[in-house]
Structure 1
Amino acid sequence: MNAAPVAARLLAGLTRLITGVRARWAGAAPTTAQRVYFANHSSHLDTLVIWASLPAPIRARTRPVAAADYWDRPGLRRWLACQVLNALLVERAGGCGSREALRRIDESLAAGDSLILFPEGTRGDGTTVGELKPGLYFVARQRPTVELVPVYLQDLSRILPKGEVLPVPLLGSATFGAPLALAPGEDRHVFLQRARAALISLGARG
């Protein structure tokens, strides 16, 4: 018997219980249409919270893009990443590593997967949204038919502060905004600023 589907249901339920996460669909309704969910990043809980916030049929078609150096380790962590979350593991290194990551992301999109991305590239302080890396622009340019949905995560860095193992009993939220698309001839920097502004706007809703 394959334990992964059972583990996925349990993990989704446990994540919602621990974080008290509330999924708010402010500008986009849940759909099985192919999407890239991109979010601010401040906690190890971020991936799990977005994944657990999606309805089960959508969750089954959505792959988190995750750092191989953290998740691809022997034991439970790798099993969760590969078998339960079906994560797309990529290297975070610069140069060729970044190009290889973008190639693998494009392959996954070509196969029909939806993805979860954190375009800041590293965890922030939970209060501000950092500048976005060019990878999101690459996705928008290469796959113009794929909806790009901003997701603002609230209070997750307070629930699981950096360096801590046990969560703090607070309530978090995940707000899903209206899909974005690359405008014809839009400059990379303009697009990335617009995507960042969409995240900030969702956060301002509280």
Structure 2
Amino acid sequence: MLEPLVATLITSAARTITGARSLWLGCGPQAVQRIYFANHSSHGDFVLLWASLPPALRKVTRPVAGADYWQTRPLRRYIINRVFNGVLIDRERKEPVDNPLQPMLDALANGDSLIIFPEGTRNLEEEGLLPFKSGIYHLAKSYPQAQVIPVWIANLNRVMPKGRFLPLPLLCTTSFGAPLSLEDGESKEQFLERSRAALLAMAPEHS
């Protein structure tokens, strides 16, 4: 099987190009079920976050990605399905009766951890976060036993800015914060704002 070798090559390249450092500030790399949620500025975000995990955690952690992007080309399909065992979601919702969260709920029911991007799309601004989609709230409500971990990815959008062929030699960091959980009586709006604030607090300019 070539997939483990390809995964090693991709993760090694990601760490070499970005000089990535993992900062476990509010939690440790423990073998517990988690929902990692991060800021989103590049298609390489989930690769860098996944590469930042110890090998044992990578085996049980699945990135959530849009099927409309990753299913369009054979190489993308191979990488997301065979190498990363990604959870693909239909962001276009061709069938309105389908629950777009179901693939993620199935993965959590299987005991997997997830990597999600609650902004829903890439944020091309230099600072701040887009408003969070409601999916993270529903996942936290459906699986309260899973730790919800904020992860700030710093500098990746500057390493490979749009239109540039070669990466810039900048240091990237993935900062892992303290676990969150849905509190008793907490509304969807309150949880989304609290989780968004927790992630923004991990940004270097806020730390």
Global fold match (TM > 0.5): yes
1:135–1:159 CA distance, 2 compared to 1 (3 A): same
Per the TM alignment, residue 126 of structure 1 is displaced from its structure 2 partner at its CA by 3.8
Moved over 3 A (4+): 94-99, 162-166
Gaps of 5+ in 1: none
Q: How far apart in 2 are the matches of 1:76 and 1:94?
A: 24
Is 1:79–2:111 an aligned residue pair?
A: no
Structure number having the greater helix percentage: 1
TM-score, normalization: structure 1?
A: 0.94
**2:55 paired residue number:** 56
Q: How far apart in 1 are the matches of 2:99 and 2:73?
A: 23
TM-score, normalization: structure 2?
A: 0.93
Q: How far apart in 1 are the matches of 2:97 and 2:17?
A: 33
1:78–1:98 CA distance, 2 compared to 1 (3 A): farther
Secondary structure in structure 2 of the residue aligned to 1:24: strand
Q: How far apart in 2 are the matches of 1:134 and 1:95?
A: 19
**1:143 paired residue number:** 143
1:165–1:110 CA distance, 2 compared to 1 (3 A): farther
Gaps of 5+ in 2: none
Cα deviation per residue 1:91-138 (whole Å; 9 max; x = unaligned)?
112585695321111111001110000000011124111111000000
Deviates more, 1:169-178 or 1:157-166: 157-166
Q: How far apart in 1 are the matches of 2:49 and 2:3?
A: 19
Sequence identity percentage: 44
Letter aligned with residue 118 of structure 1: F
1:7–1:195 CA distance, 2 compared to 1 (3 A): same
Q: How far apart in 2 are the matches of 1:139 and 1:187?
A: 14
Map 1:70-149; keep pairs closer than 5 Å. 70-93=69-92, 96=95, 100-124=99-123, 125-149=125-149
1:118–1:78 CA distance, 2 compared to 1 (3 A): same
